[in-house]
Structure 1
């Protein structure tokens, strides 16, 4: 028993960090692809297609019906799944009116708050402060640009859901392992799909949309959330939250490459500050949290 626990504590940090980087690149590529669905079915319809297709894929892969969920485990699982569904819906609504890199920057206030409130050392606060400076620089100032207030509100609300996703996803993942992603996706689809049906109706069934929906589901949900669940259960919460500060960088690059959203020199400087903050927290991270299923008490 002690041998197993010790090996878990000393497992390398590079593996969950690497998986998290792949997940972030995948999800931003998927977000760029999802915008091509907006003219046909809107943001709510794109969310419904993404989560609906992804849930089927994850259910086939993980067979969540084999998992026994105890009554005491349902609250964390339900909050995790509901926050996942609302996070996707609100973020896509934000993308209707504001650029991808800016939307991600505003949404990041959620994991940033997780990292800040989880800090116990002065250097952790310093990394958070550097990330905050980068986020502030990313916002357009004095460039003749304006941001839609409703789009900003959607992105900030998605950030709140992101924080809940981190906090409750770690607990749910420790209890159910990889199947957590499939269970959470079912709950997320139950929350978000009705909005898509109400907005787009039978247009969601168009055969022409299915290949794009499949690509979005794989890139934005099935692949990254499976990888994130592995990282969630192997990194401290504050470290996971700070590493997610790379999201604006991935979002800005994806917007530039696939959506032709140009960035100023000041905004690229902001991305550099965010990357430095993420690298700093990764280098100073302590050993991972205890192995999944060990509990706290």
Structure 2
């Protein structure tokens, strides 16, 4: 998946334990840096893999690899057996959205720079927060984010209309992913990791008709198969574990502020790994989106400030 997990965790209503983990001496910010880097380093490696495996095939390999790792780790079928019908439908819907969202994300990064896709992805998140807490501050945040995406769209719509449309579809699905993930996180019958593990397995099944045949060449290419598994681990498993460790030790407001750096992180990784040099206008758009993410506040944060 794209950078959904840090934002999903930052925008749930669950209380996060801000107390430091006594047995872990590594600074909390180090975990966030690890999460921020791997969330986009994995997709950057995926772009390099597109030369050997079709785009949708790489997307399926990522989902399936992460699903297998989480399944072996969490054994989520034990949780599935005790869920009621409504919760099962919720988790299945979350997994279906995850499958389509990842496919749209990979189709987008195949056509336009990684930093641009990441910036567009954050617009619905800021809008959701603004709808939850209608304050002047959130209004300004939406204004910045919209202006940034407008600059990016003005640059990319003419040159790569399909790439930008896939990025927009990914952004809308990302917002739906957050809403469904929020509901799963608030469901007492399933914990966050187990819910994600179940959703990943569902996503692998849902995405199979879309990407399995395209992934087939990797099964006879050990290098491509290993790379696909690596993309799944670096894109989904490592960042999620880092998110958990960071959220356990960082105050909620601090974590939400740090998340605003992710569009810039994606841009830098695009430059270093993929040689995707942004124009001055694109860089301004990414900065505006990052500013909007940093400025916005959730409903709970706005209430505390008031």
Which category of TM-score, normalised to the shorter sequence, fits these structures? 0.7 to 0.9
Partner residue of 2:115 out of 85, 101, 120: 101
Say if 1:263 and 1:100 are closer, same or farther in 2 by CA, change over 3 A.
same
With the length of structure 1 as denominator, give the TM-score of the two structures. Answer: 0.79
1:216-249 per-position Cα deviation (integer Å, ceiling 9, x unaligned):
11111123345568999999xxx99997554432
Q: 1: CA distance between counterparts of 2:73 and 2:52?
A: 29
8 Å contact kept, 1:111–1:242 = no
Partners of 1:263 and 1:139 in 2: CA distance: 13
Match for residue 282 of structure 2 among 255, 261, 267: 267
CA distance in 1, matches of 2:262, 2:92: 25
1:196: how far off? 1.6
CA contact (8 A) 1:23 1:227 kept: yes
The TM-score, its normalising length taken from structure 2, stands at: 0.77
Where does residue 292 of structure 1 map in the other structure? none
5 Å-filtered alignment, 1:58-137, equals 58-67=70-79, 68-137=82-151
Q: Does the residue aligned with 2:134 lie in a helix, a strand or coil?
A: coil
Pair 1:160-2:166 in alignment = no
Instruction: Give distance in 2, aligned partners of 1:242 and 1:226.
Output: 19
Are 2:53 and 2:224, in contact at CA under 8 Å, matched by a contact in 1?
A: no
Q: Is residue 59–residue 102 contact of structure 2 (8 Å, CA) maintained in 1?
A: yes
Are the structure 2 counterparts of residues 10 and 187 from structure 1 closer, same or farther at C-alpha, using a change threshold of 3 Å? closer
- Counterparts of 1:44 and 1:14, CA distance in 2: 41
What's 2:184 paired with?
172
Alpha-carbon separation, structure 2, partners of 1:13 and 1:163: 30
Maintained 8 Å contact 1:112/1:245: no
Once residues 199 and 241 of structure 2 are traced to their aligned partners in structure 1, the CA distance between those partners, rounded to angstroms, is 11
Measured in 2, the distance between the counterparts of 1:233 and 1:70 equals 29
User: Cα offset for 1:9?
Assistant: 5.0
CA RMSD between the two structures:
3.7
Decide whether the 8 Å contact of 1:243 with 1:278 is kept in 2.
no
Match of 2:56 in 1: 44
User: 1:146: Cα distance to partner?
Assistant: 4.1
Q: Aligned residues, how many?
A: 278
Structure 1: 5+ residue runs without aligned partners? 1-7, 290-297
2: distance between equivalents of 1:93 and 1:10? 34
Secondary structure of the residue that 1:93 maps to in structure 2? helix
Tell me the equivalent position of 2:41.
Answer: 29
Once the 2 structures are TM-superposed, how far is the Cα of residue 41 of structure 1 from its aligned partner? 1.4
